């Protein structure tokens, strides 16, 4: 039985790879994609998501526009990483129109109607997820798991204190951590281990000639390396890979508190990995993804992307 998932994203170069991985995997039933402003404004992330889904031949998957800005703070983008278009300059054929309605309503409607528990994959600022869960907390009973690419127990990537998704909307992240019954967290400390190299891109390219694999390879080639990671970390696909191949990961139970507001610590995720704190309204329990079998991950990623046309 495929796992029913909804993917909330801000495409975004690594979001694109994550979406293609999910859409190529029979283990997942992608019931909807919801889009948030993040890496680039919503006016770009939405058409990017539509194009990504269409290129995979999955235009039947509804794509909903969501929040263009965080709950409280001002919108910040990461175009310096993803390019002004959000896909490192790799142009995709335009997709179809967005589904009518807004992301938070669609999330609630899908959760309310779900006949089996839903898994939410959050790979952008958590604004849409927070809006959905905060306004109808009872729907959390319909959630099997929330998997987030967010936060860091070490140094951030957007600021010294914070990872980009957490920084972008810390209040939203705090709401989701407080509401969701089971959260799995892929932080920078995991995703920063997953570095794209020219050899790995060459191996990807050699695995097929489909449009998605070619576009993914072109995107990975075009993305600038990060001085923070001494290479090109592949963040968002790690969240999807957890659901596909949990055996590739090691994990640890931890507690997470999010620093909200607009100070130098904005979006800092204080992560207790060693049981020093107690779970309360501030420190919330998560399953922390710690390590990943990287070579196997890249091999399987290529196999899956090669399935797509
Ligand atoms: O910090 C990395 C995260 O922020 C990824 O989700 C990337 O796409 C950006 O949204
Ligand atoms: Ca993202």
| Distance, CA of 42 to CA of 24 (rounded, Å) | 25
Query: Ligand 2 (ion): which residues have CB within 5 A?
Result: 10, 12, 15, 123-124, 236
- The pLDDT score that the predictor gives to residue 281 is 86
Ligand minimally distant from the alpha carbon of residue 81: 1
Residue 93, judged by CB atoms within 10 A of its CB (0-12, 13-18, 19+), counts as: exposed
Find the 165 Cα to ligand 1 centroid distance in Å: 6
Render the burial of 191-206: b for 16+ CB within 10 Å, e for the rest.
bbbbbbeeebbebbbe
Query: Model confidence over 57-75: pLDDT tens digits?
Result: 999 999 999 999 999 989 9
Ligand minimally distant from the alpha carbon of residue 149: 1
- The pLDDT score that the predictor gives to residue 137 is 87
The minimum-distance atom of ligand 1 relative to the CA of 38 is 10
Enumerate residue ranges in the chain where pLDDT < 50: none
Find the 123 Cα to ligand 1 centroid distance in Å: 7
CB of residue 163 inside a 6 A radius of ligand 1: yes
Q: Which of 149, 167, 233 to mutate to test the pocket of ligand 1 (most atoms within 8 A of CB)?
A: 149
Query: Model confidence over 81-98: pLDDT tens digits?
Result: 899 999 999 999 999 999
- The pLDDT score that the predictor gives to residue 309 is 84
Q: Which of 129, 153, 165 to mutate to test the pocket of ligand 1 (most atoms within 8 A of CB)?
A: 165
Find the 115 Cα to ligand 1 centroid distance in Å: 31
- The pLDDT score that the predictor gives to residue 73 is 84
CB of residue 157 inside a 6 A radius of ligand 1: yes
- The pLDDT score that the predictor gives to residue 140 is 95
- CATH entry 3.90.245.10 includes domain 3-307: yes
Annotated domain spans of the chain: 3-307
| The pTM of the whole model exceeds 0.95 | yes
Two tokens, residue 291: 């390590």
| Distance, CA of 140 to CA of 20 (rounded, Å) | 27
CA of 122: how far to CAs of 115, 165, 183, 238, in Å?
A: 21, 9, 10, 11
> Quick one: which of 205, 67, 86 has its CA closest to 130?
67
Supply the residues annotated as catalytic: 235
- The pLDDT score that the predictor gives to residue 304 is 97
> Quick one: which of 11, 62, 18, 60 has its CA closest to 38?
11
| Distance, CA of 185 to CA of 269 (rounded, Å) | 11
CB of residue 82 inside a 6 A radius of ligand 1: no
- The pLDDT score that the predictor gives to residue 79 is 87
| Distance, CA of 278 to CA of 179 (rounded, Å) | 17
The minimum-distance atom of ligand 1 relative to the CA of 123 is 6
- The pLDDT score that the predictor gives to residue 136 is 87
> Quick one: which of 133, 157, 181, 183 has its CA closest to 267?
157
Q: Whose CA is nearest to atom 10 of ligand 1?
A: 124
- The pLDDT score that the predictor gives to residue 147 is 99
- Asked if residue 17 lies in contact with residue 232, where contact means CB atoms within 8 angstroms, the answer is no
Ligand minimally distant from the alpha carbon of residue 80: 1
């Amino acid at each position: 039985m495929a796992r029913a998932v909804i993917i909330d994203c801000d495409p975004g170069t690594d979001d694109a790879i994550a979406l293609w991985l999910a859409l190529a995997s029979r283990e997942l039933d992608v019931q909807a994609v919801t889009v948030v402003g993040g890496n680039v404004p919503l006016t770009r992330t939405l058409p990017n998501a539509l194009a990504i889904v269409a290129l995979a031949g999955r235009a039947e998957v509804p794509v909903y526009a969501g929040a263009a800005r965080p709950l409280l703070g001002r919108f910040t983008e990461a175009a310096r990483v993803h390019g002004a278009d959000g896909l490192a300059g790799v142009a995709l054929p335009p997709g179809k129109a967005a589904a009518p309605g807004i992301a938070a309503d669609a999330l609630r409607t899908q959760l309310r109607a779900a006949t089996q528990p839903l898994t939410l994959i959050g790979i952008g600022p958590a604004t849409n997820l927070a809006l959905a869960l905060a306004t109808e907390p009872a729907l959390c009973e319909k959630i099997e798991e929330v998997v987030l690419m967010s936060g860091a127990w070490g140094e951030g990537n957007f600021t010294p204190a914070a990872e980009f998704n957490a920084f972008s909307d810390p209040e939203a992240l705090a709401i989701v951590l407080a509401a969701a019954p089971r959260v799995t967290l892929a932080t920078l400390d995991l995703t920063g281990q997953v570095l794209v190299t020219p050899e790995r891109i060459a191996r990807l390219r050699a695995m097929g000639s489909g449009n998605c694999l070619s576009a993914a390879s072109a995107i990975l080639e075009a993305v600038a390396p990060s001085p923070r990671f001494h290479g090109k970390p592949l963040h968002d696909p790690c969240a999807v890979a957890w659901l596909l191949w949990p055996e590739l990961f090691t994990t640890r139970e931890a507690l997470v508190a999010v620093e909200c507001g607009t100070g130098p610590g904005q979006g800092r995720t204080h992560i207790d990995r060693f049981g020093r704190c107690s779970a309360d309204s501030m420190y919330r329990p998560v399953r922390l993804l710690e390590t990943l079998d990287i070579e196997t991950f890249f091999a399987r990623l290529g196999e899956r992307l090669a399935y797509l046309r």
